[in-house]
Each structure stands twice: as C-alpha cells, then as structure tokens.
Amino acid sequence: TKEKKILTLAGDGIGPEIMEQALHILDWVQNNSALSFHVEKDLVGGASIDQNGIPLTKEVIAKAKAADAVLFGAVGGPKWDGIGFDKRPELGIIGLRKELGLFANLRSTIVFDSLVEASTIKPEVIKGLDIMIVRESTGGVYFGEPRGIETLSDGTRKGVNTEVYTSFEIERIARVAFDLARQRQGHVCSVEKSNVMESGLLWREVVTELHKKEYFDIPLSHMLADNCAMQLVKNPRQFDIILTSNLFGDILSDLGAMLTGSLGMLPSATLGARQQNGVIPALYEPIHGSAPDIAGQGKANPLALILSLAMMLRYSFDEQDTSEKVVNACKAVLDQGFRTPDIMSAGMKLVGTEEMGKAVLAEL
C-alpha cells in the first residue's frame, strides 16, 4: 500500500511529551501492519508564535492540506495570555478546523472499566458509559460575523458575537451523527436551545426533516442544552450519540469527559468532507488541553493521544485490526495497574509519560 502522509503538530504544554510516545506507537504500527508512514513535524499554537509570530502559518496549513491525517497535541498556556485576541494560540486549532473544513468533531466519551472509580460520579451511574458526541466544528459562534468589540460614542464598550447556522451546515453534521448511529445500532439525541434561539429552532427543524427523509430507522430525540447538562449528570447512559453545535458541544463534551473520570484517556477525531482525491481531511487530538501546570515534568498521560492515533488508524486508514490492537494495549496497561498521576489511585503503579508509553509498546 501507498505511504501515508502524517503531519504531527505537538503544540504547547504537555503536547511534545505525549507526541513523543505516540510516535513510538506509530513506528510500531509501521513495522507491524501493511501501512507505511511519511511523518512530518511542525509547530502550532504558542510554539508557532514563539518561532513565527503567529499561531498557524500558511506553510503549516498547506502541509496539513497535503497530509492524509494530522496528529495534534494541544495548544495554549499562560505564557501567551497577553498576546492579543487575533494572535492567540487557540487560533492554531480553530484555524486548522476551518482551513481544512473539519466540520465533524467526534468526541469519544467512554468509561474504562478499570478507571470507573476515578470519577466523582458513582460507579453504578457511569459503568460501561459509551457516548459519542458529534460536535459541529466549523460554524456557529466560533466563526459567525459580525463579531468584535466596539467603543460607543459615550465611551462604553460593546462586545458582539454571532451564532449562525445554515441548513446546509446542520444537515451535513446531522448526517454524520445518523450514519454513526447506524454503524453503532444506536440512537441520536440532538441538542440545542430552540426555546430561546432561532438558530437552535432551525437546527431542530433541519434535523427532524433529514431524519424523516433518510434516517427514519434511527431513534431520534431532541433536548435543550440546559436539560442535556442535567441529564448527563443524572443518567448519562441514556445517551448514545449527542449531536450538537460548536459551542454547546464544547461545553457538553468537556462535561462528559469529566464524568468519565478518564479525561486523560479520551481521544477525538475531527473530519471533513471527502476530497476529489478520495481523502477525507482529518485531525486527531486528545480532548484534554495543554496542561501547562505539569508540562515538561514527564507526568502527562499519553494515552489520550495514543488512542487518538488509534482513531486515525480506524477512520483515516481503515485499519480496524491494528486500531483495536492499540486500544486493547491501552486497556491492558490499565488492567496491569499502570497509572499516570491524573488517574492514580491507591494500590496502583504510578508511572510517568515515558514509562506509560513503553508499557503500551511492550503490551503490543
């Protein structure tokens, strides 16, 4: 098979440390599957600001577009707090989503059996939890115009953002959710705030129409975003796929991640539309952030990024077997008691980033 081009963007904070471990796994995959990789590395976020003055360069965008998949660490940290809104590290990831047309952010919200006690939620409420959050990621208030801060004639100021969704954008992301539901033999809960926002009302209408036309076999429900936050705490296992906007998805997926008690374990994939050359643009990144407080200390949990790599094997390279091997290796090291500090509990073996990476490799 043809060589796959991978662009790795480790970014800031713990990004570089965990990326190092993920690259060892990538080597293993190369040596133990039909896949071969051409890996290129570049800078994004604060690391790119330090080098190039901006969080995302044209060159990186071009490389990302030319790649078969992007493996992403994390961006941001207090170092760049005063940098200005138009240069902030977060534009690294927001810009990549937009430039590559990565509209479907799939956030895996699962509870690992061996970590069920790590959550603040009672084990009987979350055991076996397996939700996929399908978050729209190139629209909504993240990109809507007009936006900005204006000084009024009386010297006071006004800050404006615009939540905007077209029926095209809504239908496109809803399709992803319904297709996934079909694969999983699951059901979809579409979440908005249609009792307050017209954009949410349109969301509900478009999802309902598409469901009627093409996906009537998939159970569909609708829920308001405030109620969804409540229901996630009350009874998260009622959900299979949650379909929602960029902003609600940001909040609800972080909430969901924390419910699992396994934040340091959760991967995500962000996918675009299939290109003429057959490639589906894709970026894989952990749900956790750059954790500047523990950066450079060798304490970070590399498993979320390694599991993101497993998602890459599955979604971008159709390597289900190898993907499963990686996932199972991660589960096995947990079962063996290996724990980075973020998931440590009594009686387990405390390890660092590198040891954890090595343990997965050994298991493979």
Hey, is 362 helix, strand or coil?
helix
Residue 93 or 170 having the CB closest to ligand IPM:
93
Among 117, 150, 226, 293, binds ligand IPM (CB under 6 A): 226
| String marking each residue 59-78 x if it binds ligand IPM according to CB under 6 A | -----------------x--
Catalytic positions, written as ranges: 142, 193, 226, 250, 254
- What does 129 interact with, of ligand IPM, a copy of itself, none (CB < 5 to 8 A by kind)? none
Residue 16 or 200 having the CB closest to a copy of itself:
200
Hey, is 352 helix, strand or coil?
coil
Q: What is the C-alpha to C-alpha distance for residues 364 and 358, in angstroms, rounded to an integer?
A: 10
Q: Could you say which residues in the range 131-160 bind a copy of itself, by CB under 8 A?
A: 141-142, 144, 147-149, 152, 156-160
b/e string for 177-208 if b means 16 or more Cβ within 10 A?
bbebbeeeebebbbbbbbeeeebbebbbebbe
Question: Which residue in the block uniquely carries the two structure tokens 């990326």?
Answer: 19
Comparing C-alpha atoms, which of 99, 70, 84 is closest to residue 10? 70
- What does 320 interact with, of a copy of itself, ligand IPM, none (CB < 5 to 8 A by kind)? none
Minimum separation from the CB atom of position 122 to a copy of itself (A): 6
Q: Is the preceding peptide bond at 55 cis, omega within 30 degrees of 0?
A: no
User: Which CA distances in Å does 213 have to 83, 139, 223?
Assistant: 48, 24, 21
The answer to whether 249 touches 114, Cβ cutoff 8 Å, is: no
Residue number with the smallest Cβ distance to ligand IPM: 90
Q: Which residues are annotated as a binding site for substrate?
A: 97, 107, 135, 226
Give the range of 27-35, 88-96, 114-122, 259-267 binding ligand IPM by CB under 6 A.
88-96
**131: which strand partners?**
109
Among 105, 137, 138, 199, binds a copy of itself (CB under 8 A): 199
Among 97, 135, 193, 325, binds a copy of itself (CB under 8 A): 193
User: Which CA distances in Å does 111 have to 117, 118, 219?
Assistant: 10, 10, 23
| Residue spans of alpha helices (H) in 266-352 | 303-315, 320-335
How many chain residues are in contact with a copy of itself, going by CB under 8 A?
61
Q: Is 136 in the site for ligand IPM (CB under 6 A)?
A: no
Among 32, 51, 162, 297, binds a copy of itself (CB under 8 A): 162
Question: Which residue in the block uniquely carries the two structure tokens 């076996």?
Answer: 128
Residue 241 or 333 having the CB closest to ligand IPM:
241
Comparing C-alpha atoms, which of 304, 309, 315, 269 is closest to residue 29? 309
Residues lying near a copy of itself in the complex (CB under 8 A): 76, 85, 88, 90, 94, 120-122, 125, 141-142, 144, 147-149, 152, 156-168, 193, 195-203, 206, 225-227, 229-230, 232-235, 247-248, 250-255, 257-259, 263
Contact positions vs ligand IPM (CB under 6 A): 76, 90, 93-94, 195-196, 226, 250
